């Protein structure tokens, strides 16, 4: 369902205040002043995201990056997105969330807006974006080229290599195999 309101009535304002009070707005996003109310993720989405960060988080930390889950990535107070995961330098953090990131991870859900976020992330200078498909246990990688995030073509074995965190994910027998210098894991 998609609903657009040009002006929020008092009833809508009250509903939004109640969502904030209950903590139901933590995944909501503002796209240039337009509120996008994001539904909660499905179980497969949450499972994949958690498994992925358990594997990739320590690898990113060894590279000096700070892993975060469902943290706002801001261009302005009324223009931010909430990727499933982001990996930022320590200087990119702020009280409101993150002011930049080296890598964002979006885990797909039915009818989500993952691909509509690519230009936003590229405009903020994000170096790489991973789009994860939890049911198929596969990922797509986008890399910054001239200020835009562009798709990286997988190798003959289906693998893509993240230069930011030094992992190489590929799908093997219905599982996502992640390899890195000195290790591997299956998600």
* Domain containing residue 161: CATH number: 3.90.1570.10
DSSP, collapsed to helix, strand or coil, labels residue 172 as strand
Would you say 185 and 55 are in contact if contact means Cβ atoms under 8 Å apart?
Answer: yes
| Residue 28 resides in a domain | no
Give residue 181's Cα distance to chain centre: 24
Enclosing domain of residue 71: 39-186
Q: How would you write the pLDDT of the chain (187 residues) with one tens digit per residue?
A: 455 555 667 877 787 788 778 877 777 888 888 888 777 778 888 999 999 999 999 999 999 999 999 999 999 999 999 999 999 999 999 999 999 999 999 999 988 899 999 999 999 999 999 999 999 999 999 999 999 999 999 999 999 999 999 999 999 999 999 999 999 999 9
**pLDDT score recorded for residue 186:** 97
- Cα separation, 55 vs 182, in Å, equals 13
Encode burial over 86-123: b for 16+ CB neighbours within 10 A, e otherwise. bbbeeebbeeebbbbbbbbbbbbbeebebeebbebbbe
| Residue 180 resides in a domain | yes
pTM: 0.90
Question: How do 138-145 and 128-133 pair as beta strands?
Answer: antiparallel
Would you say 97 and 71 are in contact if contact means Cβ atoms under 8 Å apart?
Answer: yes
| Residue 17 resides in a domain | no
**pLDDT score recorded for residue 110:** 86
- Cα separation, 86 vs 69, in Å, equals 6
**pLDDT score recorded for residue 28:** 82
**pLDDT score recorded for residue 4:** 53
| Residue 26 resides in a domain | no
Residues 6+ away with beta carbon under 8 Å from 113: 36
Which tokens go with 42? 């499905």
**How many domains, the chain?**
1
| Residue 87 resides in a domain | yes
| Residue 53 resides in a domain | yes
| Residue 123 resides in a domain | yes
| Residue 76 resides in a domain | yes
């Amino acid at each position: 369902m998609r609903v657009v309101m040009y002006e929020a009535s008092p009833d809508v304002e009250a509903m939004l205040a109640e969502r904030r009070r209950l903590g139901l707005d933590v995944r909501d996003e503002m796209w240039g002043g337009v509120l996008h109310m994001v539904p909660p993720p499905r179980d497969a989405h949450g499972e994949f995201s958690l498994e992925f960060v358990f594997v990739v988080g320590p690898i990113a930390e060894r590279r000096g990056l700070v892993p975060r889950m469902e943290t706002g990535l801001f261009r302005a107070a009324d223009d931010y997105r909430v990727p499933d995961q982001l990996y930022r330098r320590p200087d990119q953090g702020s009280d409101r969330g993150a002011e930049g990131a080296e890598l964002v991870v979006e885990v797909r859900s039915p009818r989500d807006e993952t691909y509509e976020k690519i230009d936003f992330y590229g405009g903020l200078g994000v170096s790489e974006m991973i789009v994860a498909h939890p049911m198929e246990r596969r990922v797509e990688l986008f890399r910054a080229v001239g200020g835009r995030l562009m798709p990286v073509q997988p190798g003959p074995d289906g693998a893509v290599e993240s230069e930011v965190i030094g992992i190489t994910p590929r799908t093997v027998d219905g599982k996502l195999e992640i390899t890195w210098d000195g290790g591997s894991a299956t998600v």
